[in-house]
Every structure is written in C-alpha cells, then in structure tokens.
Amino acid sequence: MSLEDRVEGLRARIQRACEAADRDPSGIELLPVSKRQPLSLIQEAAALGFTRFGENYVQEGADKAMAAPELQIVLLGPLQRNKAKPALQHFEEIQSLDRPELAERLRRLAEEQDLVRPVWIQVDLWEEASKLGGCTDRELPALIESLGEDPRLPLRGLMAIPPPDDQAAFGLMAALRERLQQELGRPLRLSMGMSGDLEVAIAAGSDQVRIGTAFFGAR
C-alpha cells in the first residue's frame, strides 16, 4: 500500500470517528510520527500537505530539522535536561514536558536564546511513568507553577499515552483537561490516540492523534 493510500485510509477513519462523535474533522490534527523513517519518506508526506512531524529522539529529530528546515519537528519522546538546548533549537514544540526542573531549565535557555517554544505537559495517570514518561495528577500543579506563564514557553495542552485496551483512560484525560481549563481560565488542547485507538481518543475529545505505523507503514 502506498503512503497516499494509507493517509487516505487514516483520514477516512478520522472522518467516521468524528461523525460518530458529532465533531468537526477539521478540528483534529493528524500528526505523523516519523521516528526512524528516512527523510525521503517524510518529504513524500510533505508533498501530500503535511508540515509537522513528531520525533522521539532529540538527535534524530535535530538532524531532520536541519536537513529539511521547511518542516516543523515536534518532540514527543522523553527529554533529558542535558539535551534541553538542542531540543529548543531544533524542535518547534515540546510535547513531553513532565517535571518542574526540566521546565525551569527550558525557561532559562529560552530566555538566553530568545526563543518561543510551545510546550505540552505529558501526563501519566496510570503509573506508567517509569516506562513512558509523564507526570502524575498530583505533580501537575507544581509543574504548571514552574512554567510561570512564561510567554516563551506557552502551555498548549496535555499529551498522554494511555494504556492499551483501557478505554476509560481517555475519559480520565478529558476530565483532567476540563478541570485544568477551568482552573487556568483558558483552553487547552489534548493529544492522545495512536494507530490502534484513534477512534476512542476522538470520541473522548482528543484534538490531535499521533500516528506512526498506520501512516508510514512498518519500518
């Protein structure tokens, strides 16, 4: 199956999921996850209209960002403090902010480099943090406070990787988003849902689905 065929299949799935949930498909971002994919295939996707791509590893994503500066690379994977500087330099967004000390380092570096980089907080409500990263509900207030409403690191939303086959997990994230929106007094986007569960994620209110294998095919 060609890349174009896979993309059309994904768009059809998103369309059907939105119809079932009474949502507008234009409000759902399909973010291709391009880790370990060759630049040639990413550029083929760009020719189909995609400009933003998710990467899990700082060095790989930075290399692709430098090779194709017309594209926007989004960091999805865990970020170590010692890689914060190249992450800020080469990624348009950071979706895996998960602890106050990382937020504080990013703030210092963003000020030094005079950069604006939207961030998403990666949330873990299922005690999966040791494997996938993420902060717990209990840790969220300290992390949000550490951002200090810094205009260089605007908070765009919440990202999560719910456990497989746990459909209730998506509802928990939607409720958390709603609670935080009320507390902060502003809208937040929600990024959850991958190749196998995008329909459940959209039904729960996800604004972005991150798709790897179903988009690019098996590596």
Selection from 45, 38, 33 nearest residue 2 by Cα? 45
Cβ–Cβ < 8 Å for 17, 194: no
Three-state DSSP at 158 gives strand
pTM metric for this prediction:
0.94
In the chain, the number of structural domains is 1
Q: Which domain holds residue 170?
A: 3-216
List the chain pLDDT tens, one digit each, 219 residues. Answer: 899 999 999 999 999 999 999 999 999 999 999 999 999 999 999 999 999 999 999 999 999 999 999 999 999 999 999 999 999 999 999 999 999 999 999 999 999 999 999 999 999 988 754 456 799 999 999 999 999 999 999 999 999 998 877 878 999 999 999 999 999 999 999 999 999 999 999 999 999 999 999 999 987
**Residue 4: Cβ within 10 Å count:** 12
- Sequence-ordered list of residues with C-beta below 8 angstroms from that of 52, at least 6 positions apart, any chain: 29, 31, 32, 71, 72, 73, 74, 92
Output the domain CATH number for residue 87: 3.20.20.10
- Report d(CA 216, CA 50) in Å as an integer: 12
